[in-house]
């Protein structure tokens, strides 16, 4: 069978067409022929023999249009190209077997002329620079052909190909220097730069397919090296000492040009600090192999400047003149002055002479920059120093207002020398003007001076005086008013600030006042003496309390003359008031005139009545007392010698008591008789000791009435105290009212609580001792006395406990449980290897029982690895116990080392393989997910040192470990190796809606070469997609990778079998295959 790929009815001259031959015979030879018509329908059809080239699938040419299948071949791929002689319709490709008449024909074909190939450059020019970016555009290419660009030196021939003269990168349709033409492509572009190898004239740029059958030339091109230029900052003409920067640049802005300066610096810029003489600088530029050199000469021109200041020293604020003279360069000159901080330029600053001043003192350095008049000015600068001395500010300090007859000191400041208007030359002068006067001073310092003036004002003097009212002599305790005059402001020696003050000195005292005229500040001080005479103290003596109709004598003292309120003028008077009366007297010292008045009250008391009140009564019982209380006076005298109002008495027989009451010299007497009755004796009988919870009856006697402390009012009182308690009773003789109280203590002994202690559950063959408590004596059932009772038989036992006459009974039931037998089982055995352990499991305790080993563990099973005896005590839920013992023996064999694992990979994809290798020697037992509880063995098939897992599935993920056994000993389990099994990606392909898909394969029928694409899914984040198509078939399909990407989008650009491989981020991949059928 003969199949043309791509399948079409029309082909273009120069187009590569693949011929698939199938169904042939091994070792047969075949001839290709192109007929002008179908040789079957038209036996006279002519063979055009116009295949320009014939290739095998590996692109090697075939001669004589003949092919031969290999010894094992029945099919093959071949490539043919039509030339211009094949143009026409109804053409048929024929394949004949040399040794027979078998032939294969294609369907009728139309061969058309190839479109003219177009080639253009952007930018469009005949001259290009090395390194310049240029875009080349091809149009009119033939479907399926590969095109490239070549540069020739004037003759289009491979021998004249300037390979090194061109750098080309193709579009995404092809590789570097090539482009693969697609059926839907109208144009294709190249990005190129010319290199130094292409420099020259009459160059030819050709776009051509690989066999040069379809090409387009651009002739007459000139390739030149890019020029190099130098720019200088600030300019090519500078002053001596100027810093300059030279910058080299290439004529091709986008080219990568390297520069080397004549001093060896490799950079596009060169910095020269402080150039002092005219210098030539050269630079060599290398651009894409092109070398160009250029030179720039920097001319150094100098200016000479002479500057001065007049004067060179000034005061702050004064002007000075600065000037500069320039020579050299080219006139006219321009000037730029600059003032330092604390200085200023007055007027224009762009002349050779300027006026300046300083606002602060110190050395001021002014700068001036002079530029000549050349096209590129030469500038030079110099400085001018000006000394600025501080300015002088004169001032006068001192009191500028004085009073007549005083002086003031005036002090000048601000300089180092002084001259006053009164010819004084010191900084301070003292003046005493009699009237207001002006004083001036001139202050000088460092040649600078200033004058200040001050006026001293002289105010009139003040005269102070003091007047007293009532006078300057007073009695102690009296006051006088002192009034000052002579001014408008006053300040007394007692700090008062009013013109008048009232004073009350206790002794003769001087008072002074300073009087001030507030408008002028002038003042005067004067003083007076206030004399204080002693005060008179009047007093009255005598009896100030009398009884009705009585009298008393009152005597005054403290002075030399007296005047009483009753008009008496003697010092003593006798009075007999009928009621309480006030008497006053005025006492005077005739010498000083000082006097004092005092008074007293004479109280007249009424006559007294004495009374006696008994408490509780004037009738008492023998042995008791009563209190007799007297009233009616303020003092008392009883017949039994008591001198208080209350008189407690305890007579043993009836007795009379009298009392005399007194008050204010008045008195009266009263009498009372106390009657004494016979006493009562109370007693209590009854049982005074009981047990807690019982009662007793207490009986009182000795009287006719009874009152118990617990509220009972009868002679007999039944009581049931819970603890020892005192009970009292008051016994009364109802006739006389006499009573007596007595008490008893009822002792309550504790109730007895009997109890039995001891192990009430025993095992068969053992005994227990029951111990009674709660009393002091004990009596067991069966007649046994004592606190303890040994028993070995099950049953009910009782005991009566007695203490202090109280008793109680307790019972206990003894249970006898069956005995147990402990045993120990060893796994694997009692003889183990070093480093191994044996599991000892105890039994015999039964349900709810417990175990305790000799190593203090309390679990039924223990794991041990050392030699020695091990015992266990088993205890049943009923408390019965038994002990068993075994001896563990550790052999002397060397312990096996714990194996370590190494794996070919810790992560595989489903279906992959992994191997795990263990260290050590012996028999290997592998485990998955163990040991954890009971290990899971992988079986006898995995007994070697290498665990091999092939065709791994997701269920095989997990941890793997190994144990080595040798000489009857086992190693410790190795550290686990964890295997992760990742799933294969699920591949989904989304075809365009115009495609029809047959699931078997799948086979997709879809338009080819129209820009359609399909989307592959399944790679996930960071996934990778790979498409392979069938390019040739020799001894089966040969697959070639066409494209690989990350987005899974593939162009439907050709028909035929394909395979899609999707790889996810874990490296797992799945391949699906199918076939695209064009329509």
Is beta strand 705-708 parallel, antiparallel or unpaired with respect to 761-763? unpaired
Residue 99's pLDDT is 56
Q: How confident is the model at residue 61 (pLDDT cuts 50, 70, 90)?
A: low
What are the tens digits of pLDDT across the range 970-1013?
Answer: 777 888 889 999 998 888 888 777 777 776 566 777 777 677 77
DSSP 707-754: EETTS--SSEEEE--SS-EEEEEEEE-TTT--EEEEEEEEEEEPPP--
For the cut 90, the answer to whether the pLDDT of residue 350 exceeds it is no
Residue 454's pLDDT is 94
Q: pLDDT: is 1011 or 916 the higher one? A: 916
Instruction: Report, as an integer, the average pLDDT of 46-57.
Output: 60
Q: Is the pTM of this model over 0.95?
A: no
Residue 809's pLDDT is 93
For the cut 70, the answer to whether the pLDDT of residue 151 exceeds it is yes
Sheet with 795-803: list strands edge to edge.
Answer: 761-763, 806-817, 795-803, 777-780
For the cut 90, the answer to whether the pLDDT of residue 646 exceeds it is yes
Q: Which residue from 1058, 1063, 1055, 1053 is spatially nearest to 1039, judged by alpha carbons?
A: 1058
Residue 5's pLDDT is 82
Sheet with 611-615: list strands edge to edge.
Answer: 611-615, 626-631, 646-649
Residue 474 neighbours by CB under 8 Å, 6+ apart: 480, 504, 505, 530, 531, 532, 533
- Give helix then strand counts, H and E, for the chain: 0, 101
Instruction: Report, as an integer, the average pLDDT of 1-30.
Output: 79
For the cut 70, the answer to whether the pLDDT of residue 566 exceeds it is yes
For the cut 60, the answer to whether the pLDDT of residue 8 exceeds it is yes
What are the tens digits of pLDDT across the range 445-475?
Answer: 877 888 999 999 999 888 889 999 988 888 8
For the cut 60, the answer to whether the pLDDT of residue 164 exceeds it is no
d(CA 290, CA 128): 13
For the cut 70, the answer to whether the pLDDT of residue 63 exceeds it is no
Q: Tell me the pLDDT of the chain averaged across its residues.
A: 83
What are the tens digits of pLDDT across the range 259-299?
Answer: 899 888 888 899 988 887 888 999 888 876 788 889 988 87
For the cut 70, the answer to whether the pLDDT of residue 745 exceeds it is yes
Residue 178's pLDDT is 66
Length of the chain as a residue count: 1079
Instruction: Report, as an integer, the average pLDDT of 131-144.
Output: 83
Question: What is the percent of the chain where pLDDT is above 90?
Answer: 28
Tokens of 1051: 């162009």
d(CA 584, CA 537): 13
Residue 92's pLDDT is 84
Residue 1005 neighbours by CB under 8 Å, 6+ apart: 995, 996, 997, 998, 1077, 1078, 1079
pLDDT-wise least confident of 5-9, 369-373, 686-690, 831-835: 831-835
Residue 14's pLDDT is 78
Instruction: Report, as an integer, the average pLDDT of 606-625.
Output: 88
Residue 140's pLDDT is 84
What are the tens digits of pLDDT across the range 682-712?
Answer: 999 999 989 988 899 999 998 889 999 999 9
Residue 494's pLDDT is 92
Residue 669: count of CB within 10 angstroms of its CB:
14
Instruction: Report, as an integer, the average pLDDT of 133-151.
Output: 83
Query: What sign does the CA torsion over 129, 134, 137, 143 have?
Result: positive
Residue 196: count of CB within 10 angstroms of its CB:
17
Q: pLDDT: is 591 or 575 the higher one? A: 575
* Residue found under tokens 């160009």: 292
pLDDT-wise least confident of 164-168, 435-439, 823-827, 917-921: 164-168
On whether the CB atoms of residues 628 and 646 are closer than 8 A, the answer is yes
pLDDT-wise least confident of 151-165, 204-218, 353-367, 860-874: 151-165
Residue 73's pLDDT is 64
For the cut 50, the answer to whether the pLDDT of residue 934 exceeds it is no
Residue 74's pLDDT is 65
Q: pLDDT: is 301 or 554 the higher one? A: 554
What are the tens digits of pLDDT across the range 780-797?
Answer: 988 899 999 999 888 999
Q: How confident is the model at residue 128 (pLDDT cuts 50, 70, 90)?
A: confident
For the cut 80, the answer to whether the pLDDT of residue 942 exceeds it is no
Residue 605's pLDDT is 82
Is beta strand 215-224 parallel, antiparallel or unpaired with respect to 127-129? parallel
Residue 698's pLDDT is 94
For the cut 50, the answer to whether the pLDDT of residue 1046 exceeds it is yes
For the cut 70, the answer to whether the pLDDT of residue 58 exceeds it is no
Instruction: Report, as an integer, the average pLDDT of 14-42.
Output: 77
Instruction: Report, as an integer, the average pLDDT of 826-841.
Output: 81
Q: What is the DSSP letter of 61?
A: B
Q: How confident is the model at residue 747 (pLDDT cuts 50, 70, 90)?
A: very high
Residue 667's pLDDT is 82
Residue 947's pLDDT is 84
Q: How confident is the model at residue 931 (pLDDT cuts 50, 70, 90)?
A: low
For the cut 70, the answer to whether the pLDDT of residue 309 exceeds it is yes
Q: What is the DSSP letter of 971?
A: P
Instruction: Report, as an integer, the average pLDDT of 55-83.
Output: 64
Query: Hey, is 534 helix, strand or coil?
Result: coil
Strand locations in 910-1002, DSSP E?
Answer: 914-918, 923-928, 936-937, 946-949, 958-966, 969-970, 977-982, 988-990, 996-998
């Amino acid at each position: 069978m003969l199949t043309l790929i791509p399948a079409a009815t029309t082909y273009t001259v120069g187009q590569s067409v693949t011929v698939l031959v199938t169904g042939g015979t091994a070792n047969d030879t075949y001839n290709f022929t192109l007929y002008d018509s179908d040789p079957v329908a038209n036996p006279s059809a002519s063979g055009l023999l116009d295949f320009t080239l014939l290739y095998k699938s590996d692109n090697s040419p075939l001669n004589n249009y003949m092919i031969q299948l290999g010894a094992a071949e029945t099919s093959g791929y071949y490539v043919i190209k039509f030339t211009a002689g094949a143009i026409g319709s109804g053409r048929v490709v024929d394949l004949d077997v040399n040794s027979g008449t078998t032939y294969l024909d294609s369907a009728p074909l139309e061969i058309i002329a190839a479109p003219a190939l177009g080639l253009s450059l952007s930018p469009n020019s005949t001259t290009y620079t090395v390194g310049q970016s240029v875009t080349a555009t091809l149009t009119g290419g033939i479907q399926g052909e590969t095109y490239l660009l070549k540069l020739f030196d004037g003759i289009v021939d491979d021998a004249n190909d300037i390979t090194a003269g061109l750098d080309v990168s193709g579009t995404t349709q092809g590789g570097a220097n090539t482009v693969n033409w697609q059926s839907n492509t109208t144009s294709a572009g190249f990005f190129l730069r010319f290199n130094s190898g292409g420099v020259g004239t009459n160059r030819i740029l050709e776009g051509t397919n690989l066999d040069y059958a379809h090409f387009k030339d651009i002739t007459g091109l000139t390739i030149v090296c890019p020029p190099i230029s130098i720019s200088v900052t600030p300019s090519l003409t500078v002053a001596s000492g100027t810093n300059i920067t030279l910058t080299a640049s290439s004529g091709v802005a986008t080219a990568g040009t390297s520069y080397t300066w004549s001093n060896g610096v490799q950079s596009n810029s060169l910095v020269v600090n402080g150039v002092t003489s005219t210098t030539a600088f050269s630079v060599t530029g290398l651009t894409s192999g092109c070398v160009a050199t250029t030179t720039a000469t920097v001319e150094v021109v100098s200016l000479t400047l002479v500057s001065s200041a007049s004067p060179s020293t000034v005061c702050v604020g004064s002007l000075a003149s600065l000037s500069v003279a320039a020579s050299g360069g080219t006139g006219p000159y321009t000037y730029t002055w600059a003032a330092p901080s604390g200085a200023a330029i007055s007027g224009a600053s762009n002349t050779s002479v300027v006026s300046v001043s300083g606002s602060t003192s110190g050395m001021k350095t002014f700068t001036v920059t002079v530029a000549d008049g050349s096209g590129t000015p030469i500038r030079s600068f110099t400085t001018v120093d000006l000394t600025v001395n501080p300015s002088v500010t004169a001032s006068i300090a001192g009191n500028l207002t004085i009073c007549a007859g005083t002086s003031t000191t005036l002090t000048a400041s601000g300089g180092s020398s002084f001259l006053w208007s009164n010819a004084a030359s010191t900084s301070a002068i003292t003046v005493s003007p009699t009237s207001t006067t002006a004083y001036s001073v001139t202050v000088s310092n460092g040649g600078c001076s200033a004058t200040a003036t001050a006026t001293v004002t002289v105010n009139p003097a003040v005269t102070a005086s003091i007047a007293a009212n009532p006078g300057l002599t007073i009695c102690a305790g009296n006051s006088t008013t002192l009034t000052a005059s002579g001014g408008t402001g006053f300040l007394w020696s007692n700090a008062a600030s009013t013109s008048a003050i009232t004073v009350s000195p206790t002794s003769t005292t001087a008072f002074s006042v300073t009087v001030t005229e507030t408008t002028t500040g002038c003042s005067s001080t004067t003083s007076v003496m206030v004399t204080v005479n002693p005060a008179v103290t009047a007093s009255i003596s005598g009896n100030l309390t009398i009884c009705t109709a009585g009298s008393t004598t009152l005597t005054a003292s403290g002075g030399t003359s007296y005047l009483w309120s009753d008009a008496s003028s003697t010092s003593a008077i006798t009075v007999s008031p009928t009621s309480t009366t006030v008497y006053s007297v005025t006492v005077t010292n005739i010498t000083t005139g000082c006097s004092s008045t005092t008074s007293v009250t004479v109280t007249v008391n009424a006559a007294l009545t004495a009374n006696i009140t008994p408490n509780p009564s004037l009738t008492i019982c023998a042995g008791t007392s009563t209190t007799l209380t007297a009233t009616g006076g303020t003092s008392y005298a009883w017949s039994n010698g008591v001198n208080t109002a209350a008189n407690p008495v305890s007579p043993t027989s009836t007795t009379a008591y009298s009392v005399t009451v007194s008050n204010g010299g008045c008195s009266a007497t009263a009498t009372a008789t106390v009657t004494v009755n016979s006493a009562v004796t109370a007693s209590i009988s009854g049982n005074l000791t009981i047990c807690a919870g019982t009662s007793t009856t207490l009986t009182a006697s000795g009287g006719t009435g009874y009152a118990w402390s617990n509220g009972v009012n009868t002679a007999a009182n039944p009581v049931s105290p819970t603890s020892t308690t005192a009970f009292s009773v008051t016994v009364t003789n109802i006739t006389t009212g006499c009573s007596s109280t007595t008490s008893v203590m009822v002792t309550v002994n504790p109730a007895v609580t009997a109890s039995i202690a001891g192990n009430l559950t025993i095992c068969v063959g053992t005994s227990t001792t029951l111990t009674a408590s709660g009393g002091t004596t004990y009596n067991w059932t069966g007649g046994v006395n004592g606190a303890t009772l040994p028993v070995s038989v099950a049953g009910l036992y009782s005991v009566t406990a007695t203490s202090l006459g109280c008793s109680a009974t307790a019972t206990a039931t003894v249970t006898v449980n069956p005995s147990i037998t402990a045993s120990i089982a060893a796994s694997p055995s009692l003889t183990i290897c070093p480093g191994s352990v044996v599991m000892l499991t105890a039994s015999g305790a039964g349900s709810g029982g417990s175990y305790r080993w000799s190593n203090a563990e309390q679990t039924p099973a223990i794991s041990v690895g050392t030699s020695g005896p091990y015992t266990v005590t088993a205890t049943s839920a009923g408390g019965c116990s038994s002990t068993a013992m075994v001896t563990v023996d550790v052999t002397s064999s060397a312990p096996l080392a714990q194996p370590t694992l190494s794996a070919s990979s810790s992560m595989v994809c489903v279906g992959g393989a992994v191997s795990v290798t263990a260290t050590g020697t012996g028999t290997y037992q592998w485990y998955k997910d163990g040991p954890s509880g009971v290990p899971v063995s992988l079986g006898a098939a995995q007994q070697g040192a290498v665990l091999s897992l092939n065709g791994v599935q997701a269920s095989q993920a997990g941890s793997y470990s190994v144990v080595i056994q040798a000489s009857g000993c086992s190693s410790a389990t190795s550290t686990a190796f964890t295997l992760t099994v990742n799933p294969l990606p699920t591949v989904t392909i989304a075809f365009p809606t115009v495609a029809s898909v047959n699931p078997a394969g799948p086979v997709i029928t879809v338009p080819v070469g129209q820009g359609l694409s399909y989307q592959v899914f399944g790679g996930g984040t960071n996934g990778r997609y790979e498409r392979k198509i069938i390019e040739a078939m020799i001894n089966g399909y040969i697959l070639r990778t066409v494209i690989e990407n990350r987005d899974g989008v593939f162009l439907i650009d050709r028909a035929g079998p394909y395979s899609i491989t999707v790889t996810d981020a874990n490296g797992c991949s799945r391949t699906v295959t199918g076939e695209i059928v064009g329509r």
